[in-house]
């Protein structure tokens, strides 16, 4: 049987993340993965995930069916629940699903049915205005769960609460960025861009640079959670890599925190990220990182590397021997 690396090479699927060891994945396990799971586990785009999923169709068709395991219910348990007549129940005791619950927990087909049902907004809540007790909207729940088809349905049906914030100040775009839902980021941005054509008071940059209660933008979330693809997409849309939060930390400075977040730093610097910015503690990117790898990137990408180099020479213990 071919190894996973050989299959990817044969299918011309490249650019698997460097930190993924393909030898750790058994072919049997990969063959059982959904397109979404392939995207997340192997860090590949949707088209390549679909291509790899199709490659294993023959394997899945030939695999032996798993025997059904039927467990005999405990007799006492069955007796307890065989007669429910003594349970005091009145109409209204049941939990009523709202539109947020449907976006979060119902199957996609169930959500479609609920959303398109006549009188749905009265019975379950208006998808444009409904928020739960923490301020979350259906669009935010669907985003967190990675449900692209649910989001497409809502946006096509003129759900326009792109900029609505929950009680922490988070928007659907921020949530998508933190989870690394790249396709949803594109859906939200492109949808909002069309919305701005109808309502010129809004600008496409609004959805990118909007800030939560900490002052974090969607790019702050992507950088803090080391979501490389999300960082790349947000920057391609023109998100500001130097937007300060309320502690003056920028997405570029957040990417200096540790080695995992540093994977995004190159993209931020290429987009004009400035390591010389200082947070409220007075630290710039090099001082936050204290790693040679960051200093080397700064030398390569910063227009002000000579200034930092002089500072760096005065305190060699911070950054090594440069």
Mean pLDDT calculated for residue range 123-131: 85
d(CA 85, CA 7): 60
> Pick from 238, 230, 236, 268: which is nearest to 250 by CA?
268
| More reliable by pLDDT, 295 or 86 | 295
Tens of pLDDT, residues 186-241: 999 999 999 999 888 889 999 999 999 999 999 999 999 999 999 999 999 999 99
> Pick from 108, 168, 105: which is nearest to 141 by CA?
105
* Buried-exposed string 52-79: b where 16+ CB fall within 10 A, e elsewhere: bbebbeeeeeeeeeeeeeeeeeeeeeee
| More reliable by pLDDT, 113 or 151 | 151
| More reliable by pLDDT, 73 or 310 | 73
Predicted pLDDT at 61? 74
Predicted pLDDT at 287? 92
Predicted pLDDT at 255? 92
pLDDT cut 70: percent of the chain above it: 81
Predicted pLDDT at 312? 41
Burial of 47 (0-12, 13-18, 19+ CB in 10 A): exposed
Average pLDDT, the chain: 83
């Amino acid at each position: 049987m071919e190894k996973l690396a050989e299959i990817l090479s044969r299918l011309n699927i490249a650019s698997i993340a460097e930190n993924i060891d393909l030898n750790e994945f058994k072919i049997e396990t990969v063959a059982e993965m959904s397109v979404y799971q392939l995207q997340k586990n192997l860090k590949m785009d949707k088209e390549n995930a679909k291509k790899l999923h199709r490659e294993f169709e023959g394997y899945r068709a030939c695999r032996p069916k798993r025997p059904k395991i039927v467990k005999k219910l405990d007799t006492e348990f069955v007796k307890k629940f065989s007669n429910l007549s003594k349970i005091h129940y009145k109409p209204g005791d049941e939990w009523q699903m709202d539109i947020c619950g449907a976006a979060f927990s119902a199957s996609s087909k169930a959500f479609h049915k609920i959303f398109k049902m006549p009188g749905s907004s009265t019975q379950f809540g208006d998808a444009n205005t409904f928020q739960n007790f923490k301020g979350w909207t259906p669009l935010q729940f669907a985003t967190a769960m990675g449900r692209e088809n649910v989001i497409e349905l809502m946006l096509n049906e003129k759900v326009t609460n792109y900029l609505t914030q929950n009680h922490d100040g988070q928007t659907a775009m921020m949530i998508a960025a933190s989870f690394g839902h790249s396709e949803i980021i594109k859906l939200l941005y492109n949808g909002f861009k069309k919305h701005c054509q109808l309502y010129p008071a809004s600008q496409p940059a609004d959805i990118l640079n909007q800030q939560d209660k900490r002052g974090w933008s969607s790019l702050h979330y992507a950088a803090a959670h080391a979501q490389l693809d999300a960082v790349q997409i947000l920057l391609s849309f023109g998100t500001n890599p130097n937007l300060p939060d309320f502690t003056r930390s920028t997405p570029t400075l957040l990417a200096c925190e540790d080695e995992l977040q540093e994977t995004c730093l190159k993209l931020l610097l290429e987009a004009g990220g400035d390591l010389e910015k200082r947070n409220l503690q007075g630290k710039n990117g090099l001082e936050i990182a204290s790693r040679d790898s960051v200093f080397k990137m700064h030398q390569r990408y910063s227009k002000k590397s000579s200034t930092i180099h002089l500072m760096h020479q005065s305190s060699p213990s911070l950054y090594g021997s440069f």
